[in-house]
Amino acid sequence: MAKSVTSGTAEARPVLTRARIVAAAVRLIERDGAKALSMRAVAAELGVAVMSLYNHVPGKDALLRGVAEHVVAGMDFDGAAEASWADRARALVRAFRTVAHDYPRCMTIVLTHRADGSIALRPAERALAIAAEAGFDSVTAVRVTRVLMAYALGTQLREVGMTKALDRLTDFTALDPAEFPHVLASADELARNDSEADFEFGLDLLLAAVEALPRRPGFDQASAR
Amino acid sequence: MAKSVTSGTAEARPVLTRARIVAAAVRLIERDGAKALSMRAVAAELGVAVMSLYNHVPGKDALLRGVAEHVVAGMDFDGAAEASWADRARALVRAFRTVAHDYPRCMTIVLTHRADGSIALRPAERALAIAAEAGFDSVTAVRVTRVLMAYALGTQLREVGMTKALDRLTDFTALDPAEFPHVLASADELARNDSEADFEFGLDLLLAAVEALPRRPGFDQASAR
DNA sequence: TACGCCAAACGTACGTTGTACGTACGATCG
DNA sequence: CGATCGTACGTACAACGTACGTTTGGCGTA
């Protein structure tokens, strides 16, 4: 009672489904920008009528949540299990950064419309697992997880905002030298935008600090390499 | 050629101005939510015609940028100048968190529509100043600034997303125990949401790591307490 | 085989949105 | 006193999200 694909003949019409709708939305966002996403555009992309979408998606907001979920579901973290917990944590945060790089124009939506489905919990589960294996007690593990999430989100957010702002700000010299001495002194440094290095810098910083945290009593830190 | 307030008589009509428009927008967002912001609503709030707004604001996007600027302009950081650089950094990040608390429903906009005006550079200037006084070389100073920004942004973003997701997610028990063992084990810890403590925890972590960073050669770290 | 049923695709229609454009009016300046 | 200009206004339009009623094609049952 849910398995009809026009019976035998396969793909005269690929059948409309939630997954196909979300995929079309993602494609469309990456092509024309998040602002250009409309139900009508998605329908056109799929060659169907607008209201047909509503048989599979409650509304636009839900569709956007679907987009967010689709993107985070694309996170690929199966880093070597034998690596140190820090390396695995690194891999996890990098995985988020990677999808952010793969779906740049979807990021605004991912950051805005937090997904709630179980798919979105996968990264949290992974982070908690890593923190637990590292020997932190449960409250510390949750906190570490949250800090890592905040850093992952914040880095991407800052980066997106940066590139968007740099498109507008061309008059770096029009600043009041009395009010912004340090900004002007570091103008070159600020303009040069090695986001990758900055990202790794902050990540190392954070993980080093986490590493220094006390473990749960009786935990053999040396053997958990 | 820009100073007429209906001549003498002061306030029969408070005069329409960009600042008043932005203020009305902020008020409206905090009252009815960001989703309810429309040019028509702003005009109604001010008791003017819709198109009159366009004499002071190029369009809705610009208005939203104005809202973002207004909010970050509300940051108040004049922490004791004699405090250690770490304390001043703490105060700076906290200042952002404070405005986030004062304008909760505006935060989505602040995080999404990065402001580019000079007002928005004030926090950056402050951060760079602190980092410089702490004795970091220019490239490190910029990186530290960026990490702090990422943390400030990310924390708020995570928090907003959290509260929004918790409104929807009531079925914590409906998760597959095989797929999310750690999430379920930490369910209580995750549900309890002492954002303040989490925020301070991460901030301390980060600043401790920054403190351990090497200073620029010849810098007397002890005297910079 | 024939029939009825139901999910899913469709089309029409309504209210709301952002904003382009033309008009009206009061103050300022020559 | 007439010209000019900045600002407020009103109308108008295209595009949006989506509520609602209609059509249709494939399946289970008789």
How far is the C-alpha of B224 from the C-alpha of B108, rounded, in Å?
38
Residue B218 in domain: yes
A89 with A57, same domain: the answer is: no
Please report the pLDDT score of residue B8 as a whole number: 35
Chain B CB contacts of A157 under 8 Å are 111, 150, 153-154, 157
Among residues B71, B95, B114, the one where a domain terminates is B71
For residue A225, which of A83, A111, A23, A18 has the smallest C-alpha distance? A83
pLDDT tens-place string over residues B174-203? 788 999 999 999 988 888 889 999 999 999
Q: Output the average pLDDT for chain A.
A: 87
Evaluate if the CB of B94 falls below 7 Å from strand D. Answer: no
Chain B CB contacts of A180 under 8 Å are 118, 121, 125
Q: How distant, in Å, are the alpha carbons of A66, A194, B34, B65 from that of B157?
A: 19, 23, 15, 18
Q: What's the structural domain count of chain B?
A: 2
Please report the pLDDT score of residue A201 as a whole number: 98
Please report the pLDDT score of residue A55 as a whole number: 95
Residue A2 in domain: no
Residue A11 in domain: no
| CATH number for position B45 | 1.10.10.60
Please report the pLDDT score of residue A60 as a whole number: 97
B34 with B128, same domain: the answer is: no
Residue B199 in domain: yes
Which tokens hold the place of B144? 């530290």
Evaluate if the CB of A77 falls below 7 Å from strand D. Answer: no
Q: How distant, in Å, are the alpha carbons of A111, A142, A198 from that of A147?
A: 16, 9, 17
Higher pLDDT, B7 or B25: B25
B127 pLDDT more than 90 = yes
Residue A119 in domain: yes
Please report the pLDDT score of residue B9 as a whole number: 35
Among residues B46, B71, B96, the one where a domain terminates is B71
Q: What is the mean pLDDT of residues B2-9?
A: 36
B4 pLDDT more than 80 = no
Which tokens hold the place of B32? 């009815």
Please report the pLDDT score of residue A175 as a whole number: 83
B174-186 per-residue burial string, b: 16 or more CB within 10 A, e: under 16: ebeeeebebbbbb
Asked if A121 and B180 count as a contact pair (C-beta separation under 8 A), the reply is yes
Q: How distant, in Å, are the alpha carbons of A138, A151, B17 from that of A143?
A: 9, 12, 45
B50 with B148, same domain: the answer is: no
B161 with B112, same domain: the answer is: yes
- In B53-139, the DSSP E strands lie at none
How far is the C-alpha of A149 from the C-alpha of A210, rounded, in Å?
14
Q: Report, as ranges of residue numbers, the positions in chain A whose pLDDT lies below 50.
A: 1-12
Please report the pLDDT score of residue B12 as a whole number: 46
Higher pLDDT, B222 or B160: B160
Q: What is the mean pLDDT of residues B77-89?
A: 83
**Rounded percentage of chain B residues whose pLDDT exceeds 70:** 87
Residue A12 in domain: no
Residue B127 in domain: yes
Q: How far is B23 from chain A (nearest CA, A)?
A: 23
**Rounded percentage of chain B residues whose pLDDT exceeds 90:** 68
B124 with B219, same domain: the answer is: yes
Q: How far is A145 from chain B (nearest CA, A)?
A: 10
**Helix extents (H) in chain A:** 18-32, 39-46, 60-73, 85-102, 107-112, 118-133, 138-168, 181-185, 187-191, 195-211
| CATH number for position B143 | 1.10.357.10
Evaluate if the CB of B38 falls below 7 Å from strand D. Answer: no
For residue A200, which of A93, A75, A122 has the smallest C-alpha distance? A93
Q: What is the mean pLDDT of residues B36-60?
A: 96
The letter for the amino acid at A196 is E
How far is the C-alpha of A133 from the C-alpha of A83, rounded, in Å?
12
Q: How distant, in Å, are the alpha carbons of B17, B46, B56, B57, B163 from that of B52?
A: 10, 11, 8, 9, 37
A109 with A156, same domain: the answer is: yes
Please report the pLDDT score of residue A80 as a whole number: 67
Which tokens hold the place of A15? 């059948």
B160 with B49, same domain: the answer is: no
Which of residues 28 to 57 on A have a Cβ less than 7 angstroms from any strand D atom?
36-41, 50-51, 54
A49 with A114, same domain: the answer is: no
B6 pLDDT more than 50 = no
Band of the pLDDT at B107, cuts 50, 70, 90?
very high
Which tokens hold the place of A70? 């689709």
Among residues A71, A104, A134, the one where a domain terminates is A71
Please report the pLDDT score of residue A164 as a whole number: 76
Segments forming the whole domain that contains residue B52: 18-71
